[in-house]
Each structure stands twice: as structure tokens, then as C-alpha cells.
A and B are shown apart, each in its own frame.
Chain A
């Protein structure tokens, strides 16, 4: 299996611009998570989906962030307008939530966002 695939790996943009991060989960996984990693906050959960439905987005600043999962193999995290404080590494992770599953998260390699 190819694992969780994220794009772009690196993004540099200017304040006020729209940013779209993309994720392809592992085939067959029914949970998808978006985490943000910063030096100060560690790994923060922004939002997660189960079978394409948002289960919890309480960690996501809703005035500028939006997350979608239009099908089982694709999710986006959009920031509009972007701000310098959004600079971080954004990780997507997927999980097989089936019965007896260990609950292991499989992470992508991350998208490093720099907002100037």
C-alpha cells in the first residue's frame, strides 16, 4: 500500500492568500484526521471524519479554515485567508476503525506551510 499521501509537501504563500492542502487516505480506512504541528502546540487535532462525515471540528478555527471529504479517498483542508500564524506542518492521518482494530493512526509525510 502507498500509505497516506499528502500534497503539496511544501507551500509558501503570502498573507491573505487561499491555501488548499490535500490528502488521500489508505484505501479501506474509514477515519481521516487532520492535525497541525507547531513547535509551541505540538500535535493539535483540527478535525476528523468518519465515513466522510465530520465527527469533531472543535479544534478548527472556523472563520478561516474549512475541511471537506467529498469521497472516501480524498480530503481537503482549506485556509482562506491565510495568516502568518497558520505557518505549521499539517498532517493527515487515516485509521481503520473496524471491530477489534487497534486504533493505529497512519500519518502522511505532512504539508509544510509557510505564510509570509
Chain B
């Protein structure tokens, strides 16, 4: 089955700096790559996603890039703010499958 690895497990940045979280996947048939944000005491919530026919997608301060050849994708957050502090999960889905395989999560802390 699919295996998703995520790095780093923890990341601290100064407010206003950029943050980058990277994931690799194993199944070349995977075609959907969402990112979820989990705030303390809450369930994960989708923040951005990308499909395999697209190399990059942006939504305000958040962007995701996908390299299908290398089988990796990344989340980029620019101009970080304290409210960006949370756990971020990458995930992958293969073909017509309905279930997601999640990475292990990254605890992002934005220091004021």
C-alpha cells in the first residue's frame, strides 16, 4: 500500500518568515495530495490540495508544489503568523481509492 513520509516532525520559525514542510510518497499511482491543519483540541481541516496533473497551486500565503517524477510534494507558508501554529499533515490518495494515507505530521510553531 501507499506510504507517506513527512519531514520535519517539528519546525519553529520567526513570525514573518517562511515555513516549508516536505512529504514523499511511494505509490506512483497516487494522484491526489491534500494538506490538513490541526489546531490544538480540534480535528484536522483541509487547507489546500493538489492533483497530479498540476505542478503548483497557491492560495494566498499557502502554496503546494508537486514533483511526480521524484514523488514528493511540499507545503510552503509565507509571512507566517502566530495563528499558523498547528500540526500539519500531508496525505496521498491512489486512483479511485477513497481513503487517504497520512504523513506523521509536523508541529509548526511561529515565534512572535
Q: A residues engaging B (CB < 8 A)?
A: 4, 31, 33, 35, 41-43, 45, 48, 50, 55-56, 91, 93, 95, 97, 102-105, 107-110
Q: Do the beta carbons of A109 and B41 come within 8 Å of each other?
A: yes
Q: Do the beta carbons of B98 and A95 come within 8 Å of each other?
A: yes
Most chain B CB within 10 A, of A33, A42, A48, A50, is at A42
List B residues 70-94 near A (Cβ within 8 Å). Answer: 89, 93
Closest chain B residue to A108, Cβ basis: B43
List B residues 58-111 near A (Cβ within 8 Å). Answer: 89, 93, 98-105
Most chain A CB within 10 A, of B34, B99, B104, is at B99
Q: Do the beta carbons of B102 and A103 come within 8 Å of each other?
A: no
* Complex Cα gap A33–B98 (Å): 10
Q: How far is the CB of B92 from chain A (nearest CB, A)?
A: 11
Q: How far is the CB of A46 from chain B (nearest CB, A)?
A: 11
Q: What is the interface of chain A mostly: helix, strand, loop, or mixed?
A: strand
Question: In the complex, what residues of A have CB within 8 A of residue B102's CB?
Answer: 35, 42-43
In the A-B complex, the 8 residue pairs with the closest CB atoms:
A107-B43, A42-B104, A43-B102, A104-B46, A107-B44, A109-B43, A108-B43, A42-B105
Q: Do the beta carbons of B34 and A104 come within 8 Å of each other?
A: yes
Q: Do the beta carbons of B103 and A45 come within 8 Å of each other?
A: no
Question: In the complex, what residues of B have CB within 8 A of residue A108's CB?
Answer: 43
* Complex Cα gap A104–B105 (Å): 18
Contacting residue for A48 out of B32, B43, B99, CB 8 A: B99
Q: Do the beta carbons of B98 and A109 come within 8 Å of each other?
A: no
Question: In the complex, what residues of A have CB within 8 A of residue B101's CB?
Answer: 45
* Complex Cα gap A91–B43 (Å): 7
Closest chain A residue to B105, Cβ basis: A42
Closest chain B residue to A3, Cβ basis: B43
Closest chain B residue to A56, Cβ basis: B99
Closest chain A residue to B101, Cβ basis: A45
